A and B are shown apart, each in its own frame.
Chain A
């Protein structure tokens, strides 16, 4: 009888077992998966315990932990929001299911098995996907801190400095701002009309693709008209931004597109 951790066996099967659609995953398993994810974030140690096999092990980059060790960690966690699972994939491996997903820059593989007539996680492996992407994400976060400050002080040149010389910024309802000069002009015009109050830019994910980094995120801001009696415009929305690595290793925006979440503001 093998003593290999279940995730190793599962990893071998992943090479040959096709992925399945989420509709083919048993409903009670999907519910258990959701409940366990919430249990980690609350934290709800009792639910996590119930949904975790007695022989559970997890391999984090920091090392291997048993169920008891992991349970102790969870009990000491602060409450938070459930992690957003990205790139979710399910595969059936015999009587077990392998659930693969990504949280931020970490790829996670969880093996679900039936134990005492209920779905429980038997093993988890967490792998930092790409240390480089974490570094790029940090560079983007830093750039956005400066971006927000420049918006608040109405500095169009500083904002445009985040873009490449051949960048294209696609703003809704107007022609695209092209090139550094066009983007400077666009921001100058925009900032002559509005004070930007409390701009918040939040990166949701970053994927490296050669010399590009593809970033998805959300924004929120309040626009206060500089003239007239018009009301403040409170807006939030989402964006995709393509960053390009520069010769000096820095990152600048090559393409940028956004839209509002608010109906009627398109």
Chain B
């Protein structure tokens, strides 16, 4: 189920390339905190550390992955992460963040990703697509609350 591994895509490293409108209404501290949380999430996937990846997820997180109905809640998300991390190693991932729109206790994070997924058995998968993550401030921390991916078909 390579889609879930593409969750790795919800990382974000750069905000320099974000659209100009993102600056308006955004708090630099909030944007930095979200980027840091994304980096933590990314690190969790790159090191196959389920707990680290889960640490930035809301208890009410909803994963909206292609080809399957929603996955809702931390327990179900953990199961997906464990399955993915058991099946795949993610040695490479490139993120192009396009939007980071912060409004109060919510933020909308949009971009594209390219990732390399190495299965325990079988050929390496190169996946690309888009993501939209809704972050929510919970008890002062930014948590992934909603995210959705859509993939580009392999060339």
Contact partners of B68 in chain A: CB under 8 A: 261, 263
Q: Which of B75, B108, B151 contacts A255 (CB 8 A)?
A: B108
Question: Could you tell me which residues of chain A, from 179 to 221, have a CB within 8 Å of some CB in chain B?
Answer: 207, 209-212, 214, 216
| A259 in contact with B66 (CB, 8 Å) | yes
Tell me if B108 and A212 are in contact (CB < 8 A): yes
Question: A209, B103: Cβ atoms under 8 Å?
Answer: yes
Assess the A22–B59 pair: CB atoms within 8 A: yes
Q: Mark A148-176, 1 if CB is under 8 A from B, else 0.
A: 00000000000000000010101111001
Most buried by B among A86, A171, A176, A240: A240
Of A238, A239, A264, A266, most buried by chain B (CB within 10 Å of CB) is A266
Closest-by-CB residue of B relative to A210 is: B103
In angstroms, how far is the closest chain A Cβ from the Cβ of B18? 13
Asked if A81 is at the interface of the complex by the 8 Å CB criterion, the answer is no
CB closest residue in chain A, given B65: A259
A22 adjacent to B74 (CB under 8 Å): yes
Q: Are A239 and B148 touching (Cβ within 8 A)? A: yes
The listed residue (A211, A242, A255, A258) touching B150 by CB distance below 8 A is A258
Report Cα–Cα, A37/B73, bound state, in Å: 18
Q: Is the interface of B mostly helix, strand, loop or mixed?
A: strand
A residues less than 8 Å from B101 (CB atoms): 212, 242
Q: State the interface size on chain A (CB cutoff 8 A).
A: 37
Give A210-236 as 1s and 0s: 1 = Cβ < 8 Å from B's Cβ atoms.
Answer: 111010100000000000000000000
Smallest Cβ-Cβ distance to B151: which chain A residue:
A266
The answer to whether A170 and B146 touch across the interface, beta carbons within 8 angstroms, is no
Range class of the B interface residue count: 35 or more
B65-88 to A contact mask, C-beta < 8 Å, 1/0: 111111001110000000000000
Q: Does B140 contact A (CB under 8 A)?
A: no
Which residue of A is nearest B25, CB measured? A210
User: Is the Cβ of B104 less than 8 Å from the Cβ of A238?
Assistant: no
Would you call A21 an interface residue if the criterion is a C-beta within 8 Å of the partner chain's C-beta atoms?
A: yes
A87 within 8 Å of B (CB atoms): yes
**Is the Cβ of B104 less than 8 Å from the Cβ of A259?**
no
Could you say which of B75, B132, B149 has the most chain A C-beta atoms within 10 Å of its C-beta? Answer: B132
Q: Inside 8 A of A17's CB, which chain B residues have their CB?
A: none
Q: Per-residue CB proximity of B118-155 to A under 8 Å, as 1/0? A: 00000000000010101000000000001011111100
Bound form: Cα–Cα A53–B33 in Å: 45
B residues near A240, Cβ cutoff 8 Å: 64, 132, 134, 146, 148
Residue from the list B59, B64, B108, B151 in contact with A214, Cβ < 8 A: B108
**B146 A214 Cβ-Cβ under 8 A:** yes
Q: Which of A87, A242, A260 makes the CB contact (< 8 A) with B66?
A: A260
Asked whether A89 is an interface residue with its Cβ less than 8 Å from the other chain, the reply is yes
**Residue A8 at the chain B interface, CB threshold 8 Å:** no
Q: Are A259 and B106 in contact (CB under 8 A)?
A: no
Task: List the 5 closest pairs (A to B, CB-CB), nearest first.
Answer: A210-B103, A209-B106, A209-B103, A172-B150, A259-B66
Could you jot down 9 A-B contacts, CB within 8 Å? Answer: A89-B59, A170-B110, A209-B103, A209-B106, A211-B25, A214-B108, A214-B146, A255-B99, A257-B132
B: residues with CB less than 8 A from A are 3, 21, 25, 59-60, 62, 64-70, 73-75, 98-99, 101, 103-106, 108, 110, 130, 132, 134, 146, 148-153
* 18 new A-B contacts at CB < 8 Å, known A216-B64, A255-B110, A259-B150: A21-B59, A22-B59, A87-B60, A88-B73, A168-B98, A170-B130, A173-B151, A176-B130, A210-B104, A240-B148, A255-B132, A258-B150, A259-B151, A260-B66, A261-B69, A263-B67, A266-B67, A266-B150
